[in-house]
Structure 1
Amino acid sequence: MIEVANRLHTVEEYYFSRKLREVNQMIASGKPVINLGIGSPDMQPPQKVVEAISGSLQDANAHKYQSYQGMPELREAMASFYREHFSVSLNPTSEILPLMGSKEGIMHISMAYLNEGDEVLIPNPGYPTYQSVTRLVGAEPVFYELDAANNWLPNIDELEKLDLSKVKLMWVNYPHMPTGAQPSEIAFRGLVDFGKRHNILIVNDNPYSFVLNDNPMSILNVEGAEDVCLELNSLSKTFNMAGWRVGMVLGNSTLISNILKVKSNMDSGMFYGIQKGAIEALKCSKMWYVTLNSVYKRRRDLIWKLADALNCTYDSEATGMFVWAKLPSHLKSEEFIDTILKNNNIFITPGTIFGSQGEGYIRFSLCATAEDIEECIARVK
């Protein structure tokens, strides 16, 4: 028997990879399961995006290796997008690196900056990939707790009490997944100052800014953020392009060039047609966002009714593609979702997959039709 690498002993198979096998087996056996668990957009990308990729397939360069840094036109489009929506000016040549999805960027950043034994501040609750990638590169997670009392924002005073001597990097994610909490200018300012005081790289993972949110924000808009901050973004949620795998990492030229050293040794550039489609997506008018959010608003209203039917509470001011709901106090997250899956054929995500602070919560995805959500309400009632 060939032994696996030690790093594999530090991680488990991704929750959704395991759980969706169970869900798919139920569906294959005839169970009418409705999936409210995963945030995979079910609507189409803008039509001009689909036309751009299909129209590009006969171009002379369409099937060649592409630049490790992406097409200049793509980086220009990303720079224009950040300038228009976040009032952040970036040099498209040196301060923007396109990615095959922002999840790829989590690994690239970690490989570029973390040594074995370095420590990483990771939100609890938070995206599970931060923890797994940290362990895969041999670094140590240090979890910082978020809670509803502080609007799921980092408590800088509590962070200052920690031994930060080995901390190299801090993951933040605003608008926050899974809770939908919004950042504030004061919170971002505090994070930048914290990073500077302790020489910690602050990385904001920012794919949810345009879903049910009227106030998109970037940590790079804070004065001085370029010294200690990177930002990840993605076209997956904003433009219904999750399967296309298009993301970006943004920051000062030195930080970006270090990430490029990793990336250029791991892939051979994004497919030409996908880049062409991404350029068109980033040029979308305000009407795209209005139309997208009108659909999500209707779905969210229905999810709130479903949460009410399950005796859950939720924050109606939260943003993003999910509804984070608190269970009645005597219920456990995983036991509850397993019961609902078995009895009602509805799959909901347990809050515990995002960390111990998720116990007692569940997360509903808005990536299901209004008709499916209405069916869920009927089943529960």
Structure 2
Amino acid sequence: MKGFANRINSVEEYYFSAKLREVNQMMAEGKPVINLGIGSPDLAPDRAVIDALKNTAENPKAHGYQSYQGIPELRVAMAEFYSREYGVSLNPQNEILPLIGSKEGILHISMAFLNPGDQVLIPNPGYPTYSSVTKLLEAEPVFYHLDLEKKGRPNFEELETWDLSKVKLMWINYPHMPTGASGSTQILKELIDFAKRHQIILVNDNPYSHILNPEPLSIFKVEGGKDVALELNSLSKTFNMPGWRIGMLCGRADWVEAVLKIKSNMDSGMFLGLQKGAIAALNLGKSWFKDQNQEYSNRRNLIWKLADQLNLSYDKNSTGLFVWCKTPEGKSPEELVDWLLYEKNIFITPGKIFGSEGNQYVRFSLCMPEFKILEAINRIKS
């Protein structure tokens, strides 16, 4: 046995992969764990989505290999979604690539653009996969800071003092996970100008744009966005379909084509039933978002009460699927996480897994029904 590839030493197992094994073991032992840690929507997709999947699955001709680019109707539905929701025009023939989840896109984009030694700007705090994929490809993550009091604006003044000559990609993410910073059109404009000055490719990871966010944004709505940026989007959070693994990559045709070269060597297309279900979801009206956000708003109000019980501070102007909370000075987030899990059977996420700027924070998910959040509040009171 000659051992593993060196790249495996550059990353650790994804936090939730390991931690959820422990949580599931506790539940198997009869402990009533309330999972407020992971952002997996517990609400169901719309009935029309499930019917589209079921009706397609009953067709005996629907089970063969599918196109790597998805069926034309799916790309058209994605283009119409962008036009309707963001006011952005995309060519469904060559500016949209359906993905088996947007997480797949993070890897494929990185493989298409990065060489060993290239540098990648990654938000701190930020989604851990940006960093782990960068390391797996032997590129170098370089972490930049966000001003949470200015809607998550990157510290451009600091960035401009750095040597950016080796930077190839920059990951951005609004509404931002884990903090819920909303971003703004002005921030996106500053990012586009920054990318142009330094010849950096922006990748806007945009899966939370419709969750408790009154103004969904696409970077392509801002002048010059398509010249310097790609955008990832997902049906996981927006339409309660995380297990379906349906995402999309959007942007200029030559860049999308480069990513397709990678993707076409990695999978064999998406099951037709999933594509038909995705089309049904993308065609849902505004009432879908209104009703869903009312549910999440009710849950967030309860999470704020839970955070108050724990003397945590938080920003009521944040958006997205999580509540980002700062622990009091001198209080350890890790100790709080362990106390809640082992004494109260409540699982939340320590902020440190999102980067060094998360060391004094914890994160709560809104993916739990109100009665469960109320039960968590009562456990803490007791």
TM-score range, shorter chain: over 0.9
Cα root mean square deviation, aligned: 0.9
SS of equivalent to 2:57: coil
SS of equivalent to 2:230: strand
Aligned residue number for residue 127 of structure 1: 127
1:104 aligns with 2:104: yes
Is the CA contact 2:15–2:353 (under 8 Å) kept in the aligned structure 1? yes
Aligned residue number for residue 194 of structure 1: 194
Render the CA deviation track for 1:186-234: whole Å, top value 9, x for unaligned: 1000100111111100000000011111110011111111111000000
Distance across 2 between alignment mates of 1:351 and 1:240: 24
Aligned residue number for residue 280 of structure 1: 280
Is the CA contact 1:146–1:357 (under 8 Å) kept in the aligned structure 2? no
Distance across 1 between alignment mates of 2:129 and 2:241: 20
Aligned residue number for residue 218 of structure 2: 218
Distance across 1 between alignment mates of 2:6 and 2:53: 41
Report the Cα offset of residue 149 of structure 1. 3.8
State TM-score, norm by structure 1.
0.99
Name the % identity.
62
Aligned residue number for residue 35 of structure 2: 35
Distance across 2 between alignment mates of 1:151 and 1:92: 32
SS of equivalent to 1:56: helix
Is the CA contact 1:61–1:272 (under 8 Å) kept in the aligned structure 2? no
1:94 aligns with 2:94: yes
Report the Cα offset of residue 354 of structure 1. 0.3
Amino acid at match of 1:10: S
Q: What does residue range 133-148 of structure 1 map to in structure 2 within 5 Å?
A: 133-148=133-148
Distance across 1 between alignment mates of 2:186 and 2:202: 15
Render the CA deviation track for 1:44-83: whole Å, top value 9, x for unaligned: 0000000000001233541111000000000000000000
Aligned residue number for residue 254 of structure 1: 254
1:378 aligns with 2:374: no
1:58 aligns with 2:66: no
Aligned residue number for residue 365 of structure 1: 365
Aligned residue number for residue 158 of structure 2: 158
SS of equivalent to 1:188: helix
Distance across 1 between alignment mates of 2:326 and 2:61: 52
Render the CA deviation track for 1:316-363: whole Å, top value 9, x for unaligned: 111111111111111122222011111111000011010000011110
State TM-score, norm by structure 2.
0.98
Render the CA deviation track for 1:282-318: whole Å, top value 9, x for unaligned: 0001111111111111111100100000101111111
After superposing the two structures, state which structure 1 stretch, 324-333 or 251-260, moved more.
Answer: 324-333
Q: What does residue range 214-363 of structure 1 map to in structure 2 within 5 Å?
A: 214-363=214-363
Aligned residue number for residue 16 of structure 1: 16
Aligned residue number for residue 70 of structure 1: 70
Distance across 2 between alignment mates of 1:188 and 1:226: 12
After superposing the two structures, state which structure 1 stretch, 54-63 or 346-355, moved more.
Answer: 54-63
Distance across 2 between alignment mates of 1:30 and 1:282: 40
Aligned residue number for residue 184 of structure 1: 184
Distance across 2 between alignment mates of 1:58 and 1:336: 49
Render the CA deviation track for 1:91-137: whole Å, top value 9, x for unaligned: 00000000000000000000000000000000000000000000011
Is the CA contact 1:147–1:357 (under 8 Å) kept in the aligned structure 2? no
After superposing the two structures, state which structure 1 stretch, 323-332 or 52-61, moved more.
Answer: 52-61
Is the CA contact 1:219–1:229 (under 8 Å) kept in the aligned structure 2? yes
Is the CA contact 1:11–1:135 (under 8 Å) kept in the aligned structure 2? yes
